Chain A
Amino acid sequence: AQSVTQPDIHITVSEGASLELRCNYSYGATPYLFWYVQSPGQGLQLLLKYFSGDTLVQGIKGFEAEFKRSQSSFNLRKPSVHWSDAAEYFCAVGAREYGNKLVFGAGTILRVKS
C-alpha cells in the first residue's frame, strides 16, 4: 500500500532561521512527489513538484526540495524563514501505476517566532 509519513506534527523556527520539513514515502512504483502549503481557512497551494531528473527542485516562495531515492525521502527546505511562512505543509505522492489519486501525509504545522 502507498503511504506518506511526515514525522513532525509541529515545528517551530525563528524568523530568519533555516527550515527542513521531512517526508518519507512507501510506494511500489516510481513516484511523483509534491509539496503543498495550506494557510488557515485556505485550500492547498502547490509549492513544488518532482517527476524525474535533477533531484533538487526549486519551487515558489524560495522553497526547494531534494529527492533521495535511497532514503525514500523528499524533504522540503528553505534557507531563511519569514513570518508569512507559518502554515501547514503537506507532502503528497502520486504514481501513474496507481491511477490519478494523490496520497498525502498528515501534515506538519510550521510556527515562526519573531
Chain B
Amino acid sequence: DAGVTQSPTHLIKTRGQQVTLRCSPKSGHDTVSWYQQALGQGPQFIFQYYEEEERQRGNFPDRFSGHQFPNYSSELNVNALLLGDSALYLCASSPPWDRKNIQYFGAGTRLSVL
C-alpha cells in the first residue's frame, strides 16, 4: 500500500517563475493538505482540499493556489516566486472517516528559489 507520494523531490527555480508541485494521497484517503516548512521551522499550513474544493486556508498570499482532481490527487501552484518561498513543501492526506485531523505526510518537495 503506497503512502503519500510527492513529485518532484527537488526543484530549482528563479525569482518570478512559477512552479507546480504534485501529490498523490494514501490509498483510500480523500482529503489533501499542504504545508510549507522553512529551514529550521515547523510546517505551516497552506490549505486543504476536499471534494475538489479548497476547504480551509492558512495565512498565505494568493500567489499560492491549488487544485484537487477527481482521483483525489492534488497540485500546489506558486506564482511569482520569491526567495522566501524556498522551503520543503509537504503534502498530507486524511481518510474520509477521520474527524480528528489525523494526517499522513509525504516526503516532501524541496524547492530552491535562486
Q: Which residues of A line the B interface, CB within 8 A?
A: 4, 32, 34, 36, 41-46, 49, 51, 90, 92, 94-96, 99-107
**Do the beta carbons of B56 and A100 come within 8 Å of each other?**
yes
**Do the beta carbons of A102 and B101 come within 8 Å of each other?**
yes
**Do the beta carbons of B42 and A105 come within 8 Å of each other?**
yes
A51-B100, A96-B99 known; A42+B41 contact, CB < 8 A: no
Chain B interface residue bracket vs A: 20 to 34
CB distance from B103 to the nearest CB of A (A): 6
Does B105 belong to the interface (CB within 8 Å)?
yes
**Do the beta carbons of A90 and B102 come within 8 Å of each other?**
no
Q: Can you pick out 27 interface pairs between chain A and chain B where the beta carbons lie within 8 Å of each other?
A: A32-B100, A32-B101, A34-B101, A34-B102, A41-B107, A43-B4, A43-B106, A45-B105, A49-B100, A51-B100, A92-B42, A94-B101, A95-B101, A96-B99, A96-B100, A99-B55, A100-B31, A100-B48, A100-B55, A100-B101, A102-B33, A103-B45, A104-B35, A104-B43, A104-B44, A106-B40, A107-B40
Q: Which residues of B line the A interface, CB within 8 A?
A: 4, 31, 33, 35, 40-45, 48, 55-56, 58, 90, 92, 94, 99-108
Instruction: Give Cα A44 to B43, complex, Å.
Output: 10
**CB closest residue in chain A, given B46:** A101
Q: CB-CB < 8 A to B41: which residues of A?
A: 106-107
Instruction: Give Cα A107 to B38, complex, Å.
Output: 12
Instruction: Give Cα A90 to B4, complex, Å.
Output: 19
CB distance from A36 to the nearest CB of B (A): 7
**Do the beta carbons of B107 and A42 come within 8 Å of each other?**
yes
Instruction: Give Cα A8 to B92, complex, Å.
Output: 26
Partner of B58, one of A4, A44, A101, A105: A101
